[in-house]
Amino acid sequence: MLNYSIMTHAGILVLKPQTPLSKEDFDGLSVVVDAYLSEHLKLKGVLIHTKGFPGWENFGGFVAHMHFVSEHHKKVERVAIVTDTHFADIAESLGKHFISAEIKHFPFADDVQALKWLETF
């Protein structure tokens, strides 16, 4: 399950993956994000907050995730990955080559600092 919400006043998407990600997670997320983007040019930021990356439910979940990123990455200014998993370091390094947003990794307990970083752009 992927919990998500948009802080509309700040233009920040908050993602909290709880269980392996599914195609349905990204279908629902796309509806919410696309509705927001129909009225705004961009998201100021995305905050991904998870103790450990849960992975994907199956290959369909992975494909839906990659499709979501490819469809939306040009409309995001910054991404804060807030987690203690080492996967974040890999995601930060790889992401810099494939998406236009600035990416920064924060320890799981530093979600307030990550949010401040997103808001100061």
For 2-36, the pLDDT digits (tens) are 999 999 999 999 999 999 999 999 999 999 999 99
Q: Is residue 33 a contact partner of residue 12, using CB atoms and an 8 Å limit?
A: no
For 66-104, the pLDDT digits (tens) are 999 989 999 999 999 999 887 655 655 555 646 778 889
- Domains present along the chain, CATH in parentheses: 2-119 (3.30.750)
Q: Cα 28 vs. chain centroid, distance in angstroms?
A: 14
Could you tell me if residue 36 is left (phi over 0), alpha (psi between -120 and 50 degrees) or otherwise beta?
Answer: alpha
What pLDDT is recorded for position 95?
Answer: 55
> Can you count the helices (H) and strands (E) in the chain?
4, 5
Q: Which long-range contacts (CB under 8 A, 24 or more apart) does 64-68 make?
A: 64/21, 64/22, 64/23, 64/25, 64/26, 64/27, 65/21, 65/26, 67/26, 68/26, 68/29, 68/30
What pLDDT is recorded for position 74?
Answer: 92
Q: Is residue 46 a contact partner of residue 7, using CB atoms and an 8 Å limit?
A: no
pTM, entire model: 0.90
What pLDDT is recorded for position 93?
Answer: 57
60 is written with which tokens? Answer: 């369909």
**In the Cβ-directed half-sphere of 38, how many Cα atoms lie within 13 Å?**
6
For 27-73, the pLDDT digits (tens) are 999 999 999 999 999 999 999 999 988 989 999 999 999 999 989 99
